[in-house]
Amino acid sequence: MYTVLSFSSTWDGVVIVVEKLSKRFGTVQILDGMDFVAPSNQVVGFLGVNGAGKTTTMRILSTALQPTSGTVTIGGHNVVEQPELVRGMLGYLPEKPPLYPQLSIGQYLEFLAQFRELTNPRKCIGNALEKVGLLGKESMSISKLSKGYQQRVGLAQALLHSPRYLILDEPASGLDPSQMVEIRGMLKALAEETSILLSTHLLSEAERMCTHHIILHQGKVAQSGTLLELGQENGGGFLSLSITAEGWNDGFLKRLADLDGIEKVCLKSSTIESVVVQVFTDQTTVQNVLQWCHQQDVFIDGYQWEEPSLEDIFLHVVGVEQ
Amino acid sequence: MSLASVSRQTISVLTKELQVAFASPLVYVFWFVSSLLVGLFFYLGLVVSSEPNLRLLTVNLALSNVVLMPMLGMRMFAEEEKQGTLEMMLTLPGSLWTFVVGKFLMGFLLSTMIVFSSVLCSLILAWFGTPDWGAIVSALIGQGLCLSFCLSVAIFASVLTKEPIASGLLGAVLLLPFWMVDSLGQTVDTVWVRQIFQDLSLMQHLIPLSKGILALSDVFWFVGGTGFFLWMTERVLEWKRCQ
């Protein structure tokens, strides 16, 4: 079931290569032989349920943590053997923005610019603040900023040295819808010159923001690819059946699932009048399903072949019934 | 990485640390309490001994350092971990020593208020009498060395936990044995064990300095101890990165 699609045929370059990555904390195996590659100048979504290993992987990629085994290379540099090189070209925003509430935005970024020994700190700070929409707000105290603005300052510190690679752990967490739209636009603009790997729980946002997706499950990569590739990998879509409640009975779903060519059947919604069922199958079996329903005296209000959303694919891959 | 580069990074950490410190009331409370204690110990020392030097002041300050230095150092790394900036620190290009030394320098600069207050006490002595300047300079050096040792232990305690209060208490607990080990040594009959206890004693190395006896072995004890605890701090940070 677990598949890593081939990226090399469709992407110009691969910037992050993860091979057999494992991480164990005591007796708990967080990552279990993870493999994936991420392409250049794309926004890659890192998806998974809580505990799937997203944050641990990102911490290893950002050199904040060392793996138990396996190799990770970013831009051709091994994160364990050449961490200083990786740190110089990587921007990292942890789940909780790393901020000093006692400082102003300007003081905070100035410290980081000086520490990174940037040749033109003023210009770098100006550029980073412009990208996150905070230009002119350098004197504001970080403690007085809203959560959305604090997230922007966190993003500005990650962008300060114009990194080639950006790793963002839940950048949209805690943002209101308008802020989310702004962050989405910002990341799309950044992706023109930066390779971005971001994790998020918001699948609808990931679908809008990311061009590629990596789905993690139980410390491994379950599937990865573009939305189209993932959809094809998961049967290319599903049949959505609307059935009148009169013809509905408890054994219907089980009998339908037992038919040849049916991978999975899910109950999507039900009202007093009708029931909507998702049938994961090949498009060629649609007529057989309709015919079978007719033979079972089940009246179908309507049906349509639907392309799967990222949420459908994610739930299908991690094995969660809707 | 060149020494110049490390120095620049250390100065940037020091500047940031001072900005953060002065935004908190802790520094002002620390200055107020330490100045008050210096004045009190100076007055009591004169009343008890009538000696025109800083001997009793320096010895008594060593005990107050067991509480004052953990108070100053308790937030240094614990707060960084609590507010999530430690993770950023671990992913910045540069040596972890820059953070350890930068924070130590910040703590040392702030705690020199104690030495500065003692200098004022010396001037008062000079106003009313003829003090032994050699003994006073030696006592001031002793104060500075004792401060740096206690501060390094406090910083080490701060890297062990992410709760500043717990870090402060731990710092005091780690420092107490260095202060008490001398008394403990006197209860032991075995000579070599007693000698080890005396070698470990902070007071055994501070008292000669407070009297004006500037022995290199005592200076090395404080400098070595400070270096050891700063090195341990750096090791714990590196371990956090590798765990």
ipTM above 0.90, yes or no: no
Amino acid of residue A42: Q
Burial B214-229 (b: 16+ CB within 10 A, else e): beeebeebbeebbeeb
Length of chain B: 243
pLDDT in tens, B134-149: 999 999 999 999 999 9
Residue corresponding to tokens 């520490």: A115
Q: Is it the case that residue A5 has pLDDT exceeding 50?
A: no
- The two tokens of residue B148 are 């740096």
Task: Give B167 or A281, the one with higher predicted confidence.
Answer: B167
Average pLDDT, chain A: 85
Residue B167's pLDDT band (cuts 50, 70, 90): very high
| Cα Rg of chain B (Å, integer) | 19
Q: Is it the case that residue B6 has pLDDT exceeding 60?
A: yes
Q: Is A174 on the interface with B (CB under 8 A)?
A: no
Average pLDDT, chain B: 91
Residue A4's pLDDT band (cuts 50, 70, 90): very low
CB within 8 Å: B12 and A115: yes
Residue A320: what pLDDT? 57
- Tell which B residues from 123 to 182 touch A, by Cβ distance under 8 Å: none
pLDDT in tens, B194-243: 888 889 999 999 999 999 999 999 999 999 999 999 999 999 999 988 77
d(CA A108, CA A142): 9
Task: Identify from A115, A147, A153, A165 which residue to disrupt to test chain B contact, counting B C-beta atoms within 10 A and taking the largest count.
Answer: A115
For Cα atoms B199, B204, B210, give the angle at the middle one, nearest 5 degrees.
145
Are the CB atoms for A213 and A230 separated by under 8 Å?
yes
Phi, psi of A217 (to 5 degrees): -150, 120
Dump the DSSP string for chain B: --HHHHHHHHHHHHHHHHHHHHTSTHHHHHHHHHHHHHHHHHHHHHHHH--SSSHHHHHHHHHHHHHHHHHHHTTTTHHHHHTTHHHHHHTSSS-HHHHHHHHHHHHHHHHHHHHHHHHHHHHHHHHHS---HHHHHHHHHHHHHHHHHHHHHHHHHHHH-S-HHHHHHHHHHHHHHHHHHHHHHTT---HHHHHHHHHH-HHHHHHHHHHT---HHHHHHHHHHHHHHHHHHHHHHHHHHH-
d(CA A81, CA A71): 10
Are the CB atoms for A150 and B84 separated by under 8 Å?
no
For residue A5, give the nearest of A320, A313, A319, A315 by alpha carbon. A313
Length of chain A: 322
Are the CB atoms for A311 and A204 separated by under 8 Å?
yes
Residue A236: what pLDDT? 67
Of A132-136, A164-168, B74-78, which gets the smallest average pLDDT? A132-136
Q: Is A97 on the interface with B (CB under 8 A)?
A: yes
- Tell which B residues from 62 to 91 touch A, by Cβ distance under 8 Å: 83-85, 87-88, 90-91
Are the CB atoms for A18 and A11 separated by under 8 Å?
no
Please report residues of A whose CB lies closer than 8 A to that of B9. 114-115, 117
- The two tokens of residue A25 are 């904390």
CB within 8 Å: B87 and A94: yes
Please name every residue paired with A212 in a beta bridge, in sequence order, or none if there are none: A44
Burial class (CB in 10 A: 0-12, 13-18, 19+), A319: exposed
Q: Is it the case that residue A11 has pLDDT exceeding 50?
A: no
Tell me, rounded to whole angstroms, the distance of Cα A118 from its chain centroid: 31
- Which residues are within 8 A (CB) of A181 and not within 5 positions of it... i.e. 6 or more apart? none
Amino acid of residue A110: E
d(CA B237, CA A207): 38
pLDDT in tens, B89-130: 999 998 999 999 999 999 999 999 888 888 999 999 888 888
Are the CB atoms for B155 and B233 separated by under 8 Å?
yes
Half-sphere exposure of A103 (CA within 13 A, CB side): 22
Q: What count of other Cβ atoms lies within 10 Å of the Cβ of residue B208?
A: 15
Amino acid of residue B181: V
Q: What count of other Cβ atoms lies within 10 Å of the Cβ of residue B204?
A: 17
Please report residues of B whose CB lies closer than 8 A to that of A103. 16, 19-20, 23
Measure CB to CB from residue B91 to each of A62, A96, A114 and give the nearest one. A62
Are the CB atoms for A150 and A142 separated by under 8 Å?
yes
Q: What count of other Cβ atoms lies within 10 Å of the Cβ of residue A25?
A: 11
Please report residues of B whose CB lies closer than 8 A to that of A112. 92
CA distance B16 to chain A (A): 6
When pLDDT is averaged across residues A96-102 and rounded to a whole number, the result is: 93
Please name every residue paired with A238 in a beta bridge, in sequence order, or none if there are none: A306
Which three-class secondary structure string do you get for chain A?
A: CCEECCCCCCCCCEEEEEEEEEEEECCEEEEEEEEEEEECCCEEEEECCCCCCHHHHHHHHCCCCCCCEEEEEECCEECCCCHHHHHHHEEEECCCCCCCCCCEHHHHHHHHHHHCCCCCHHHHHHHHHHHCCCCCCCCCEHHHCCHHHHHHHHHHHHHCCCCCEEEEECCCCCCCHHHHHHHHHHHHHHCCCCEEEEECCCHHHHHHHCCEEEEEECCEEEEEECHHHHHHHCCCCEEEEEEEHHHCCCCHHHHHHCCCCEEEEEEEEECCCEEEEEEEECHHHHHHHHHHHHHCCCCEEEEEEECCCHHHHHHHHHCCCC
Residue A276: what pLDDT? 84
Residue A108: what pLDDT? 96
Please report residues of A whose CB lies closer than 8 A to that of B90. 63-64
Are the CB atoms for B232 and B225 separated by under 8 Å?
no
When pLDDT is averaged across residues A78-86 and rounded to a whole number, the result is: 92
CB within 8 Å: B91 and A96: no
